[in-house]
Chains A and B, each alone.
Chain A
Amino acid sequence: MSQKQYWKGLEELNETEAHKEVAANEFREELPFDLSGKLLDANTPRRDFLKFLGFSTAAATLAASCEMPVRKAIPYAIKPEEIVPGVPNYYASTFVDGGDYCAVVVKTRDGRPIKIEGNEKSSITQGGTSARVQASVLNLYDNARLRQPHADGKEATFEAIDRQITDGLNAGGQAYLLTSTIISPTTKAVIADFLAKYPNAKHITYDPMSYSGMLLANEVSYGKRALPSYHFEKANTIVSLGADFLGTWLSPVEFAKQYSKGRKINAKHAVMSKHYHVEPTHTITGAKADERATCRPSEMGKVAVALYNAIANGAKPNLGSDKLNKVVANAAKDLKNGNGLVVCGSNDKDTQVVVNAINSAIGANGTTINWGVTSNYKQGIDSDMVALTDAMNGGKVSALMIHGVNPVYDYYNGQKFADGLGKVAVSVSFADRMDETAQKCKYVVPDHNYLESWGDAEPKSGYYSLMQPGIAPLFKTRAFQDSLLTWAGSSTSYGDMWKAYWMNKLGGQRNFDMALQDGVIEPSEMPVSGASFAGDVNGAISNIQAKKAVSGTEVVVYQKISLGYGGAWSNNPWLQEMPDPITKATWDNYLCVSPQRAKDMDEELTSITEVVNAKRVVKISVEGAEPIELPIVVVPGMHNDVVAVAVGYGRDAKVGMAARAGLDKWGKEIGGKNVYPLVGFNGNTFSYSAAATVEKTDKTYDVAITQTHNSYEGRPIIHEYTLDEFKKDPEHLMNERKKELEHYSHLPWEHKEGGHGAAAAAHGDGHAAAPMASHHDDNWEEGFRKNGTLYPVFDSPGIHWGMSIDLTSCIGCGACVVGCQAENNVSVVGKTHVLKSQEMHWIRIDRYFSGSPADPDTIQTVFQPMMCQHCDNAPCENVCPVSATNHSSEGLNQMAYNRCIGTKYCANNCPYKVRHFNWMDWNGADCFEDNLYEDYRRDEMNSDLTRMVLNPDVTVRSRGVMEKCSFCVQRLQEAKLQAKKEGHPMRDGAVRTACQQACPTDAIVFGNVNDKKSAIYNLRKSEQKERVNYVLEQIHTLPNVNYLSLIRNTDEIIAGDEDKDDMLNKIMF
């Protein structure tokens, strides 16, 4: 086995005292036993023990002797024809959040949406989803949603509000409709009607996370204020200047699909795109990059200019660091070879003009960038919003209607907006909850959730997607469009208008029904066209060069993959508890700093590592904004002069229990801080970075971070190769495995007799065949399976489930984590218990770093999804005293909750640390009352409303039992049953696990290994046999999950290189 080593945190690398203690001490808290030897004086003396024993026996007897309750079975009064109780219905629909788009399929059970899947019919998102799309079903059942319209903070009726608002609008004066980006053609028509009725009204689009710079740059470059379609799958060279296109930039699900297509690799087809990445912080896109360098955010324009010059006239880049120069020079060289694509995350117009010039110079327009089909995801123009705020403060606005945005919270100068709002006579919010802006509005007319709405979307010009409800509106809410139509005096409802629009457009009921069933309406072929660049690149360059360089610290305001820009997502417990892919932190925002910077700031290392929960709190000051105090989290790979903070936290209490910031019941600070005030406005566009000063305070704050729990103690578990290494010797990994395991292929006495002796024959067919192993590829694996253990080998006569995870494709986005949580009723435990390493996620994504912590440009980051490996020789099964966990004939490691007595031996014996114990009654599933765990933050998961999201096919686990990944056994059983009913063997692909289905990069393949025609069989036996490996294979656990080695299209892999990997050599601190 290769000796590449990864480190999972600085403390492990540096062997700090705290880490050693943690590694030695399995339990993170004091055990409630007194081991002093003075039994009678001990905390738990024998008599107490006996008392407890007696009490619990008596309690159990009492609890059990209760009478069986009378249960009712209540059928429908009149059953809707399409519903069969117990059988799910699926509806194609569309996820839209501002401009974020995803074609989805909604799974409903007995009339309740319970799961969101990607819609494979869409050529845009192609069945992929993101963590937020997966979690969106929980927003439907959010307790903070408004139950009815409000006027002046009091409950009101639609009739009364309609009258008052219509009167207000008719009173004259300037009215504004402020919305997030709207991609619905019918909604746009409704708005046009409304504006026609009220000619004094204006529509303004505002995006909290703005792409104005790009829109304006495209306007001057190509004459279109629009965004093109990108085609990462067609690009041989991808250069990203700070665009986190796999995580948060523009349309990450679409791009992740495309990106992974260009990087599917096997020994016969060893070709992949080359991805250069320059960024100030550390994003998942940076983690996947082949070549990565860091720069200051203020330097990004200069990097673009350097790249432009290198391409246009071969000028050598002269930037901040050698690595940066090298990356830019190499990128320029590769881009010139054609099929290149440059994207840039900057919101600066000049920088984007230069990027347009580069794309034009390398001929990207018409190949990797398509101007024939434009994207509608973002349309907000920042200066309009600033002008509106000024007008409001100047008393020039008489009516303001706000939909989809929350400027009091997410505008850079929220206070000013709030002040201005006070001067507006008729202020209306369509928010679904009393968010920061709605509280300051006179009227709140709540809109439906997208799962309750009819609607449509045009994510790209000519590409349509229909939205249909999965449930009738839960509350007295009204579609935003209906409100506008009512106020415009129209008598038709939006639903009728929407239907008439599409019936007319599609031509007839049949086409309409088909489109509704498919969910998408797309041209059969995508029109492709380029565009000729007409921008003033020299002007842009001189503007960039004229900018003063920042010398001190710079702060970057970024979106987390989980919460995004904030909005309703802040109150989504699934997303709050989803570990950030890079920092692995939950429930909070914090200041990301590089290890070097942390060291400079605080010599006491232990206070900044992941092992110690208490993090040093620092004060971040930016000119023109109130200083903000946040804890620091060390992130290798951050530029040493850059710090970063995420938006979406620091919410008002009325946004919801999970989102609330401030002091909790016990006086502890919770919920993070709002960092939108750190955003700046440069007179043209918003700027998401600023010069800042960071000061240490003497406070600390607990941040709940999930990694460093579940330590692998440095064993080789990931196999990473450069593309060249892989091309040169694709079988390297296979041969290494073979070397390690080959001697098991036959038993020693058989070997002595040369394989044809009587002893071998006496041991049966399997063993007799073994000596031939060295001549046959597969037999050493079989031999190891049979001979590597004293236990009998499990037989799988029918189905044998297997999973493969491609580490090259995995981007660590976390869609699988939330998808699994939604499918399997995985509990949310809350921050307090994450701090105790008691989170329940069935699948986690381990991230490992390599490189030198002092030099962010050397950092290489890998992701490894880890869930129950369903070992065929499982260490957990042998130690269970009650056989609550055992093996099935289909290769599943089964967990019977009702048999489990909670000894936790299995979790202790699991080498993968994927078993999770229910330390508390998270969901009220216990039979004892008043046992429910409450932390006043995650508790609404257990409200009657939110419990509607539970999957009725999966048991809700009670306190005191172990749980873990089941390979979505409820789906396997359902698919088998379907095949049996239809009377044919199960077809490959008929069943997919929740993680597999959620994955936007198709990294996960699942199926029946016994089926020789299945994808998983072919992958293991032929297609990818060179890359297949099993984690900790040598200890003979025989996992049913295999991984495919990570291939990076780079010159060197730092992990395992003793000269380069300071993490390995531990010389840094």
Chain B
Amino acid sequence: MNTGKHFLTIVYKLSASCCSFAHTKVKGTLIFKIISVLVTIKPTLRKIAHSTFAILIAVFASISTANAQPDGKALFMSNCASCHNPLKDATGPALKGVDERVPSKEWLYDWIHNSAAVIASGDAYANKIYGDWGKTAMTAFPSLSEEEIDAVIAYVNSVEPPAAVPTQGGAVAEPEQNTWLYTLITVVLLVFTVILWRINHALRRVALEKQGLPNHKEVPVYRNKVFIAIAVVVLIIGAGYWITNGAVEMGRQQNYMPEQPIFYSHKVHAGVNQINCQYCHAGVTKSKQAMIPSTNVCMNCHMQINEYTGEQLYTHEGEEINGTAEIHKLYEYSGWNPDKKAYNRDADGNILAKPIEWVKIHNLPDHVYFNHSQHVAVGKVDCQRCHGEIQDMDEVFQFSPLSMGWCINCHRETEVQFANNDYYSIFEKYHEEIKAGTRTSVTVDDIGGTECQKCHY
């Protein structure tokens, strides 16, 4: 069991580093990541690990070649993705082939640096786009260099529509069938064993009778003292295990997946449409709270996007979801009138919006202080590390146990950004040890990250 757990940890780590790799600019870090993973492996598990590596490294290689334009993609995701999609019209037009549509490359640079100025200059094409897209001005990006814009364009041009996904029914069913088969065989074999044992037993009794030798008196199983003793011990151990586990799990909600007032799919937003997490959860680098966006943030895009045209959505219970109806629920909350394409306002001109009462999934006890920005901005931890593959979830559930043991384990294993952040220069002792070669890494634990008052005050 232990072995299996460690194996899973390794796979998980590799996949985590694989994810982060997709966003890293420097290819060389791959080597370091693999090395760091290697270091953490217990020597006894190496054998299992080695074979896995061969396969996984091959997977890495294929992924890394697929991302030929890491710069462009990262820039696109952080700057453009909230309004643009390479293939589909969103708040702004689909961007694939944009360099061929516009009058010139220079025009495009100007437009991106300051679209308002281009419009004001009376440029015909610019005014046409402005009119076509509901007179919504595009945010200016004066800080993007021309090379960076080229990289973004190269990226959007490289995006291909996803090929039709083959049905996965068979593939999923296969392991289930195997299990069933094995169980069946095991049961049949067990029954065989029992039957054979009874036959053997009966034959021996008959043989003894024939020889005139006395037989032992039969004692039924339920009155067998050894059996009763073993059963009691097993029962006590079992019950104790069950109660202890139950007590430890008390108040924990792993896999908690409540029904939300609006069927909001992270898969559709963060997965399919590649919207950056921080576009909505803007507090994640600034505050202890990641922040659930207010309705006006939703409306930045949904003023334009008023129907759902993607793949059919299902709840986890298999019910069909009408995506367009869900968007109209948002309009209810945000006070948007989709017919008039305007907000409902009161006499003072205030928008008649009401907040959406989401059901809170991740609940920490009151005596725990958790800060998102500490982990995301300083620790550079990916969202997925704690929240799971959120971009694949239609309905969000609590991925991690959020138990103290889970926090502490991560703090013990995770290395801080020791060399990259000047804050840590005050830990002179560790720097000297690293220089002297007596220390290879500094974990969160080493700088006091498992002390009580880092989270409880």
A interface vs B, CB < 8 Å? 64, 68, 70-79, 84-87, 797-799, 884, 886, 888-890, 892, 894-899, 925, 953-956, 966, 969-970, 973, 976-977, 979-981, 983-986, 1010-1011
Contacts of A886 in B (CB 8 A): 451-452
- Could you say which of B283, B291, B292, B359 contacts A70, with CB atoms under 8 Å apart? B359
Q: Is B184 interfacial (CB-CB < 8 Å)?
A: no
Given contacts A77-B294, A84-B291, A68 and B251 within 8 Å (CB-CB): yes
Given contacts A954-B457, A981-B378, A75 and B292 within 8 Å (CB-CB): yes
Closest 3 CB pairs of A and B: A86-B287, A77-B353, A896-B452
B292-318 vs A: 1/0 string, CB under 8 Å? 111111000000000000000000000
B404-431 vs A: 1/0 string, CB under 8 Å? 0000000000000000011111111110
Contacts of B377 in A (CB 8 A): 981
B258: nearest residue on chain A (CB-CB)? A70
B134-173 vs A: 1/0 string, CB under 8 Å? 0000000000000000000000000000000000000000
Provide the bound-state CA to CA distance between A973 and B370, in Å: 11
17 contacts between A and B (CB under 8 A): A70-B258, A71-B359, A73-B292, A76-B355, A77-B333, A78-B294, A889-B447, A889-B448, A896-B456, A897-B367, A898-B367, A955-B457, A966-B457, A976-B423, A985-B422, A985-B425, A986-B426
Q: Is B354 interfacial (CB-CB < 8 Å)?
A: yes
Assess whether B286 is in contact with A969, with CB atoms less than 8 Å apart: no
Given contacts A71-B363, A77-B333, A78-B294, A897 and B357 within 8 Å (CB-CB): no
Assess whether B457 is in contact with A68, with CB atoms less than 8 Å apart: no
Assess whether B359 is in contact with A72, with CB atoms less than 8 Å apart: yes
Provide the bound-state CA to CA distance between A797 and B334, in Å: 52
Assess whether B426 is in contact with A64, with CB atoms less than 8 Å apart: no
**Least Cβ–Cβ distance between B358 and chain A, in angstroms:** 5
Given contacts A890-B448, A953-B369, A985-B423, A78 and B351 within 8 Å (CB-CB): yes
Contacts of A84 in B (CB 8 A): 282-283, 286-287, 291
Contacts of B114 in A (CB 8 A): none
- Could you say which of B367, B373, B374, B451 contacts A889, with CB atoms under 8 Å apart? B451
Q: Is B360 interfacial (CB-CB < 8 Å)?
A: yes
Contacts of B294 in A (CB 8 A): 75-79
**Least Cβ–Cβ distance between B141 and chain A, in angstroms:** 20
**Least Cβ–Cβ distance between B227 and chain A, in angstroms:** 32
- Could you say which of B287, B354, B371, B456 contacts A897, with CB atoms under 8 Å apart? B456
Contacts of B429 in A (CB 8 A): 797
A968: nearest residue on chain B (CB-CB)? B457
Assess whether A1011 is in contact with B426, with CB atoms less than 8 Å apart: yes
Q: Is B344 interfacial (CB-CB < 8 Å)?
A: no
Given contacts A68-B363, A969-B453, A799 and B355 within 8 Å (CB-CB): no
**Least Cβ–Cβ distance between A872 and chain B, in angstroms:** 15
Given contacts A84-B286, A889-B447, A985-B426, A75 and B250 within 8 Å (CB-CB): no
Contacts of B448 in A (CB 8 A): 798, 888-890
Provide the bound-state CA to CA distance between A927 and B456, in Å: 18
**Least Cβ–Cβ distance between A800 and chain B, in angstroms:** 10
Q: Is B253 interfacial (CB-CB < 8 Å)?
A: yes
Provide the bound-state CA to CA distance between A75 and B454, in Å: 27
Assess whether A977 is in contact with B378, with CB atoms less than 8 Å apart: yes
**Least Cβ–Cβ distance between B376 and chain A, in angstroms:** 10
Provide the bound-state CA to CA distance between A976 and B286, in Å: 14
Contacts of A64 in B (CB 8 A): 250
Assess whether B426 is in contact with A1010, with CB atoms less than 8 Å apart: yes
Assess whether B355 is in contact with A74, with CB atoms less than 8 Å apart: yes
Provide the bound-state CA to CA distance between A798 and B451, in Å: 14
Assess whether B452 is in contact with A899, with CB atoms less than 8 Å apart: yes
B428: nearest residue on chain A (CB-CB)? A797
B425: nearest residue on chain A (CB-CB)? A985
Provide the bound-state CA to CA distance between A71 and B293, in Å: 17
Assess whether B291 is in contact with A75, with CB atoms less than 8 Å apart: yes
B310-339 vs A: 1/0 string, CB under 8 Å? 000000000000000000000001100000
Provide the bound-state CA to CA distance between A977 and B457, in Å: 15
**Least Cβ–Cβ distance between A922 and chain B, in angstroms:** 15
**Least Cβ–Cβ distance between A876 and chain B, in angstroms:** 14
The A contact surface, by secondary structure, is loop
Provide the bound-state CA to CA distance between A455 and B432, in Å: 57
Contacts of B351 in A (CB 8 A): 78
Assess whether A894 is in contact with B366, with CB atoms less than 8 Å apart: no
Q: Is B289 interfacial (CB-CB < 8 Å)?
A: yes
Contacts of A71 in B (CB 8 A): 359-360, 363
Given contacts A75-B292, A75-B294, A969-B453, A797 and B430 within 8 Å (CB-CB): yes
Provide the bound-state CA to CA distance between A896 and B453, in Å: 7
**Least Cβ–Cβ distance between B334 and chain A, in angstroms:** 8
- Could you say which of B295, B366, B423 contacts A78, with CB atoms under 8 Å apart? B295
Contacts of B293 in A (CB 8 A): 75, 79
**Least Cβ–Cβ distance between B86 and chain A, in angstroms:** 30
Contacts of B251 in A (CB 8 A): 68
Given contacts A75-B355, A78-B351, A799 and B426 within 8 Å (CB-CB): yes
A974: nearest residue on chain B (CB-CB)? B371
Contacts of A1011 in B (CB 8 A): 426
Most buried by A among B358, B366, B369, B457: B457
Provide the bound-state CA to CA distance between A1010 and B427, in Å: 10
B430: nearest residue on chain A (CB-CB)? A797
- Could you say which of A797, A888, A896 contacts B427, with CB atoms under 8 Å apart? A797
Contacts of B424 in A (CB 8 A): 798
Could you list 16 further interchain pairs (A-B, Cβ under 8 angstroms) beyond the known A798-B426, A889-B451, A899-B452? A72-B357, A77-B296, A77-B354, A77-B355, A78-B351, A79-B296, A85-B283, A798-B447, A884-B452, A888-B448, A896-B453, A954-B457, A973-B457, A976-B423, A980-B378, A980-B421
Q: Is B288 interfacial (CB-CB < 8 Å)?
A: yes
Assess whether A955 is in contact with B366, with CB atoms less than 8 Å apart: yes
Provide the bound-state CA to CA distance between A984 and B367, in Å: 30
Assess whether B287 is in contact with A970, with CB atoms less than 8 Å apart: no
Assess whether A75 is in contact with B423, with CB atoms less than 8 Å apart: no
Provide the bound-state CA to CA distance between A894 and B454, in Å: 9
Provide the bound-state CA to CA distance between A979 and B291, in Å: 22
B282: nearest residue on chain A (CB-CB)? A84
Contacts of A966 in B (CB 8 A): 453, 457
Given contacts A68-B253, A889-B447, A977 and B366 within 8 Å (CB-CB): no
**Least Cβ–Cβ distance between A467 and chain B, in angstroms:** 25
Contacts of A983 in B (CB 8 A): 421-423
Assess whether B373 is in contact with A981, with CB atoms less than 8 Å apart: yes
Contacts of A984 in B (CB 8 A): 422-423
Given contacts A75-B294, A75-B358, A77-B353, A980 and B457 within 8 Å (CB-CB): no
Contacts of A895 in B (CB 8 A): 452-453
Q: Is B90 interfacial (CB-CB < 8 Å)?
A: no
Provide the bound-state CA to CA distance between A73 and B423, in Å: 34
Assess whether B456 is in contact with A73, with CB atoms less than 8 Å apart: no
B283: nearest residue on chain A (CB-CB)? A84
Provide the bound-state CA to CA distance between A608 and B229, in Å: 73
Assess whether A979 is in contact with B423, with CB atoms less than 8 Å apart: yes
Given contacts A74-B358, A797-B430, A85 and B291 within 8 Å (CB-CB): yes
A961: nearest residue on chain B (CB-CB)? B367
Assess whether B454 is in contact with A973, with CB atoms less than 8 Å apart: yes
B293: nearest residue on chain A (CB-CB)? A75
Provide the bound-state CA to CA distance between A14 and B282, in Å: 66
Q: Is B356 interfacial (CB-CB < 8 Å)?
A: yes
Assess whether B451 is in contact with A888, with CB atoms less than 8 Å apart: yes
Provide the bound-state CA to CA distance between A75 and B296, in Å: 11
- Could you say which of B253, B333, B358 contacts A72, with CB atoms under 8 Å apart? B358
Provide the bound-state CA to CA distance between A403 and B347, in Å: 34
Q: Is B212 interfacial (CB-CB < 8 Å)?
A: no
Contacts of A985 in B (CB 8 A): 422-423, 425-426
**Least Cβ–Cβ distance between B170 and chain A, in angstroms:** 39
**Least Cβ–Cβ distance between B181 and chain A, in angstroms:** 40
Assess whether B423 is in contact with A980, with CB atoms less than 8 Å apart: yes
Contacts of A78 in B (CB 8 A): 294-296, 351, 353
Contacts of B371 in A (CB 8 A): 973, 977
Q: Is B365 interfacial (CB-CB < 8 Å)?
A: yes
